[in-house]
Amino acid sequence: MPITDLVPPSRRQEKGVKGVFSNPLMRLLAINWLIGFAATVLIFCGLLLTNAAGLQDLIFNSEEPWIPMALLFFGLLITICSVAMGAAVMSLPKDD
């Protein structure tokens, strides 16, 4: 008998993406990851458009400008999404 048969049908979770997003914590993290992604895109575009500290000149004068752009974008993505997700988790109500 498989171990999954020991769980009553009322307690079984759905499989796939729908099952993952039925968990409220996963929904919270996914929503805040999307918020972090949107903030990353805005900050990345803002840095390039305003030419902050000559960043745009440095990037577009390199031989392959997509490499520093990718490094900057993914560095910002990891940092800002982590901050958004961490802030969401830290602001959850505390159970006593």
pLDDT at site 23: 79
For residues 29 and 35, give the distance between their C-alpha atoms in angstroms, rounded to a whole number: 10
Q: What is the DSSP string of 11-79?
A: GPPPPSHHHHTTSHHHHHHHHHHHHHHHHHHHHHHHHHHHTGGGHHHHHHTSSSTHHHHHHHHHHHHHH
Which residues, other chains included, contact 81 with Cβ-Cβ below 8 Å and sequence gap of 6+?
Answer: 32, 33, 36, 37, 40
pLDDT at 22 exceeding the cut of 90: no
Encoding tokens for residue 73? Answer: 């974008």
pLDDT, tens digit, 9 for 90 and up, residues 31-41: 999 999 999 99
pLDDT, tens digit, 9 for 90 and up, residues 51-74: 999 999 999 999 999 999 999 999
Question: What band does 17 get if pLDDT is binned at 50, 70 and 90?
Answer: low
Question: What band does 1 get if pLDDT is binned at 50, 70 and 90?
Answer: low
Burial class (CB in 10 A: 0-12, 13-18, 19+), 30: middle
Question: What band does 83 get if pLDDT is binned at 50, 70 and 90?
Answer: very high
